[in-house]
Amino acid sequence: MVGAGLSRGLAAVLHVLGRRCQFCAAVLEHADAFPLCRNCRALLAPRVNGYCPDCGICYADPATPVYSCLSCRQGKPPWSGVAFHGLYSGALRELIHQHKFGHDHGLGLLLRDLIREAWERHCLPRPDCIVPVPMLPARVLDRGFNQSAELARMLGKVIGLPPLLSGLRKIRDTSAQSSLGRAERHRNVAGAFEAAASLSGQHVLLVDDVMTTGATLTACAKACLAAKARRVDIFFLGRAV
């Protein structure tokens, strides 16, 4: 009977939690499939216009149509399809940070909802495998977890396909990345990843938390293609500018 009591108590707690905004904890006025209040929903709205469909770069005016940026028109990225949530700033940046450094599982549920929405909105074909951008093992030990792997797990639940967590491995430290410019970032990560599982003939979906210059995802996509993957798509939550 103790078990039944606990589960009733838990159900009551979940019921209350379910009616609160998962970002600011405000009580939700209306039953909504999405667990955010109107204000946070606006702050965490997906980018539906004003971006490049080939790399996700977000234009200054979010109301402009979706069109390929100059850089992608000059040279196609190594991946085929792109799915992402929105601009990496404001509330999305805060959410990703809090999840990364606070290990907040309540926010994990919200991230999963955002991931589901982004996946469904971009209509990419179902991949054969979901592969997170890897970190060096020592870095994972430092931080406690790899956020890309966590997001790949969440996306795996959405798609119904467990992620291939060791599909790629990082073979070189690139930790100086944040202090470098665009061209230097590409040089710094070139060849820093290699396939650690058989990706031959596979349609790979790469997952990262944030795309900045695209240098890391480019290096990862090239590693998949070098391992004879037949197609690579990319998925990330936030696009930095």
| Residue 161 in contact with Zn ion, rule: CB under 5 A | no
| Residue 204 in contact with Zn ion, rule: CB under 5 A | no
How many whole angstroms separate alpha carbon 91 and alpha carbon 99? 12
Residue with tokens 């990345």: 177
Q: For residue 191, what are its two tokens? A: 């060849």
Q: How far is the CB of 128 from Zn ion (least distance, A)?
A: 25
Q: Of 24-32, 105-113, 127-135, 208-216, which part binds Zn ion (CB under 5 A)?
A: 24-32
Q: How far is the CB of 234 from Zn ion (least distance, A)?
A: 12
| Residue 109 in contact with Zn ion, rule: CB under 5 A | no
Return the number of the residue (21 or 87) whose C-beta is nearest Zn ion.
Answer: 21
How many whole angstroms separate alpha carbon 75 and alpha carbon 132? 24
Contact 6, 90 (CB under 8 A): no
DSSP H or E segment with residue 231: strand 231-239
| Residue 217 in contact with Zn ion, rule: CB under 5 A | no
Return the number of the residue (53 or 201) whose C-beta is nearest Zn ion.
Answer: 53
Contacts of 63 (CB under 8 A, 6+ apart): 49, 50
How many whole angstroms separate alpha carbon 117 and alpha carbon 77? 24
Q: Of 65-73, 96-104, 135-143, 213-221, which part binds Zn ion (CB under 5 A)?
A: 65-73
| Residue 44 in contact with Zn ion, rule: CB under 5 A | no
* ∠ CA 10-12-16, rounded to 5°: 115
Return the number of the residue (60 or 138) whose C-beta is nearest Zn ion.
Answer: 60
Q: Of 5-13, 64-72, 137-145, 189-197, which part binds Zn ion (CB under 5 A)?
A: 64-72
* ∠ CA 115-174-197, rounded to 5°: 60
Q: Of 6-14, 17-25, 108-116, 149-157, which part binds Zn ion (CB under 5 A)?
A: 17-25
Return the number of the residue (54 or 113) whose C-beta is nearest Zn ion.
Answer: 54
| Residue 115 in contact with Zn ion, rule: CB under 5 A | no
Quick one: which of 52, 133, 205, 223 contacts Zn ion (CB under 5 A)?
A: 52
Contact 154, 118 (CB under 8 A): no
DSSP 92: H
| Residue 26 in contact with Zn ion, rule: CB under 5 A | yes
Contact 207, 148 (CB under 8 A): yes
Q: What is the x/- site pattern for Zn ion, positions 123-152, by CB under 5 A?
A: ------------------------------
In the chain, how long is the greatest CA-to-CA distance?
67
- Residues in touch with Zn ion (CB under 5 A): 21, 23-24, 26, 37, 40, 52, 54-55, 57, 69, 72
